[in-house]
Structure 1
Amino acid sequence: MIIRTFLLPQNTKFDRPIFQLCLLCQSVSHRSNFSSSSFSPYRESGIPNLANYRDWLSPNEVVKIFESLKDPNFALPVFDQISQRKDYNPNEAVYTIVIKKLALAKNFDAIEALMERIKLERKCRLSEEFFLTVMKVYGNVGGRIDSAIKTLFDMPDFKCWPSVKSFNFVLNLLVNTKQFEVVHEVYMGASKLGVEADACSLNIIIKGLCQCGKLDAAFSVLDEFSKQNLRPGVRTYSTLMHGLCEHARVDDALALLDRMERGGVDPDAVTFNILISGLRKKRRVDEGIKLFDSMMLKGCDPNPGTYQEVLYCFLDDKKFAEAKEFMHRMMSKNIPPSFESYKLLIQGFCRENLVGEVDWALKQMVRHGFVPKMGMWKSILRCLFSGKDNCHPFSYEEIMRSC
């Protein structure tokens, strides 16, 4: 008989047959002839028989049993057996592992039934982290947003009041799933839950309003910060700027930058990335480049995204020589340009028949791990055979080595 072992925490004591029991649960999908005088290990369905297991099961031992289950579909029948035992005394850890196993089995109806049972049993006090786990299971795994909201507002019935952490999780879940019509309703329920909204709450509301195009309403939320003795941060302003730029209101976004600085909030690289990108989309590339220079003068360190946006400004304005110089600057800081940047630069050099420049760009592109596509090769070959610049043209063999 082959006995399969598994790892348990160090110092685990085997003074009961619980090791044997966990071994059975772990191997439930592989039927065994193992038998014990104290209980029958399997029912006809292949589920371990725990109802008649004679030794006392502590909550920690119950948790180990569920952790040993390889098939999450057995979680519900195993829990039903354990709940019929005289030593049934679940704690938060037991409830949590059962809910996680049910989530793996995609049995969300059983989770809802279990939550109702927990409410009636009142076997133990539950922490906010438990309910946050349940809400994450509903929202992130099951897509049951209504169940997540219900869990939040049911927490007082379990004698556990939510903090702003749980409240903001549900708000953000609603925004991310684009259920904007429900966001305001949940937000207005803060007082019912005894939750005092914070700056993060207002930021989430602003994000939702911007995503659904209600920019004026988002600005009105910005005014709420002072009314609630809160201070907007860089994320607040950046979110609003992104919404404005997405709706082609770049001038309003730039005005918001001034308001931000007057309010004593320093913009960061993300803020400038949003504004430079917004200016570029409006074909105001010179202003975008000047904003980058202003950023450097203010002592704000650009990130790779900032450099990439400025490089696109040069390329959009067909300033290919300047783009090449800026690429040198990026590479000196170990920031590789994007594939799209190389594509636009090579196309620009090809249109101007700058064969030597195409040679440089192609070699740099390959050095950074990018593979030119067929359309780019066609442009390069047309450039190669249509004219020459002052640079030495590359040979057929050099092209093949670059491939």
Structure 2
Amino acid sequence: MISRSIVTKLPKINLKWYRSTASLNSSIKLDPLELHNHKDWLSPTEVIKIFETLKDPNSTLTVLNQLSKRKDYNPNEALYTSVVNNLSEAKNFDGIEEVMKRIKVEKRCRLSDGFFYNVIRIYGLRAGRINRAIETLFDMPNYSSWPTPKTFNFVLNLLVNTKQFDVIHEVYMGAGKLGVEIDACCLNIMMKGLCKNGDINAALQVFDEFPKQNCKPNVRTFSTLMHGLCKLGRVEEAFSLLHKMETEGVEPDTISINILISGLRKNNRIKESIDVFEKMLLKGCEPIPSTYQEVLYALIDSKEYIKAMNLAKKMSSMKMVPSFDSYKLIIHGLCEKKIVEDIDLVLKHMIENGYLPKLSMWKQILQCILRN
């Protein structure tokens, strides 16, 4: 029998340190590829950590198969998301399809729209599997999940950006089947696709759908139509949309004004493009660099070289760099009108903005000076 005095002399055991060390040793011994031999109970957080710390994402399916053989296997959305993201990183898109089939068979948890949005995004943007993205969207009800307008609109936009114009309408018509309520964003995407495909009349028909769908057009709606109309030279109709925006209570933004200014200039309606720009400034709508550049070209086109020079100077003071062609055309115009005294100023600003005049420009300037 051990005496009390001997017991009191024994060092005290730090249980907290012992437990943490034991836990550390356990994690060190844990081989992700041999999980079926590991007897300890793994929490959902520990399982996810295994996938997040895998050195080789290509081993993801092997680890998942090992996990599925354990008694404590209880997959949730976070686990499936980690698996899908790992496979995406490994560019194993066939593996993602295998996991999606597995989820459907297992039926162990209900997945959110956010999970499917991630999968669809991977198929569409990383894998380039547009058809698989569409199939996944329409397969969501088989997982007891329904898409939100965000996911539905993402697929529509994906089809527009990849010019899959023959499929867009078919997907759009499937909104009711998926329980998706058509919103302004959805109609805007449809209009963008039709405009890109050169079918502006069909886009105008979609515009007429807004009140029928209880949707209110926004500034993007008008910008899309204005751009499509200007591209086809139907500037008058684009210009009329500016007035319609006012009646609808939609405030024009920089992009919509920029589209109109560009459209007017390219259709030789120079004065109107400058007028729109001036009204824009009066309303306190700050133009973007491309707007200033369009107006600069408009002034050059109308041979208002002094005004063009002053605008270029203003752009420089606002940290905007006019194009090289702008300076070239201004100098050409000043030489043509024999306004020699301002050429030096334009050259100075041009060099300050990092441009070097070409030999042909110097020749033109010298000829102009010598003639005077």
Quickly name the TM-score band, shorter chain normalised: 0.7 to 0.9
* Post-superposition offset of 1:54: 3.0
TM-align CA RMSD: 2.5
Is 2:359 aligned against 1:378?
A: yes
Provide Cα deviations, 1:245-299, integer angstroms capped at 9, x if missing partner: 1111111111222222222222122111001101111122222111212323444
SS in 1 for 2:35: coil
Pairing 1:115–2:96 present: no
Q: Distance in 2 between the 1:244 and 1:122 partners?
A: 50
- State the alpha-carbon separation in 2 of the partners of residues 51 and 345 from structure 1: 77
| 4+ runs deviating over 6 angstroms | none
Computing the radius of gyration over CA atoms, which structure comes out larger, 1 or 2? 2
Contact map agreement 1:351 1:383 (CA 8 A) in 2: no
Q: State the SS of the aligned residue for 1:51.
A: helix
2:166 alignment partner, SS class: helix
8 Å CA contact retained: 1:199, 1:225: yes
Stretch deviating more after TM superposition (112-121 or 278-287)? 278-287
In 2: Cα distance, 1:319 partner to 1:305 partner? 19
Name which of structure 1's ranges 348-357 and 164-173 shifts more when overlaid on structure 2. 348-357
Q: Which residue of structure 1 aligns with residue 84 of structure 2? A: 99
Q: Does 1:202 align with 2:187?
A: yes
In the other structure, the counterpart of 1:26 is: none
TM-score scaled by length of structure 2: 0.87
Q: Within the alignment, does 1:172 sit opposite 2:157 as a pair?
A: yes
Report the secondary structure of 1:197's partner residue: coil
Give the helix-richer structure, 1 or 2: 2
Give the C-alpha shift of residue 161 in structure 1. 1.4
Please list, as runs of the form range in 1=range in 2, the aligned pairs for 1:89-168 lying within 5 A after superposition: 89-168=74-153
1:313 aligns with 2:294: no
Measured after TM superposition, the shift of residue 151 of structure 1 is: 1.3
Please give the TM-score of this superposition, normalised by the length of structure 1. Answer: 0.80
Whether the aligned pair in 1 keeps the contact of 2:327 and 2:350 (CA below 8 Å) is yes
SS of residue paired to 1:138:
helix
Q: Secondary structure at the match of 1:192?
A: coil
CA shift, 1:117, in A, is 0.5
Distance 1:14 1:363, change over 3 A: farther
* Contact 2:313/2:349 (<8 A) preserved: no
Q: Distance in 1 between matches of 2:22 and 2:207?
A: 62
Identify unmatched segments of 5+ residues in structure 2: 1-19
Q: Which stretch of structure 1 is more off in the superposition, 214-223 or 334-343?
A: 334-343
> CA–CA distance in 2 between the matches of 1:353 and 1:140?
56
- When residues 327 and 183 of structure 1 are mapped into structure 2, their CA distance, relative to the original with a 3 A threshold, is same
> Which residue of 2 is the match for residue 238 of structure 1?
223
- Closer, same or farther: CA 112–325 of 1 in aligned 2, 3 Å: same
Residue 14 to residue 385, structure 1, CA distance change in 2 (3 Å): farther
Give the AA of the match of 1:120. V
Quick one: which of 317, 327, 344 aligns to 1:359? 344
Aligned to 1:211: 196
Indicate the SS of the match to 1:50: helix
Number of aligned residue pairs: give it: 353
Take 1:181 and 1:282, find their aligned partners in 2: how far apart are those partners? 31
Q: d(CA) in 2 for partners of 1:18 and 1:80?
A: 24
Q: Does 2:264 correspond to 1:279? A: yes
The change in CA–CA distance for 1:55 and 1:269 in structure 2 (over 3 A counts) is: same
Identity of aligned residues (%): 53
Contact 1:347 1:379 in 2 (8 A): no
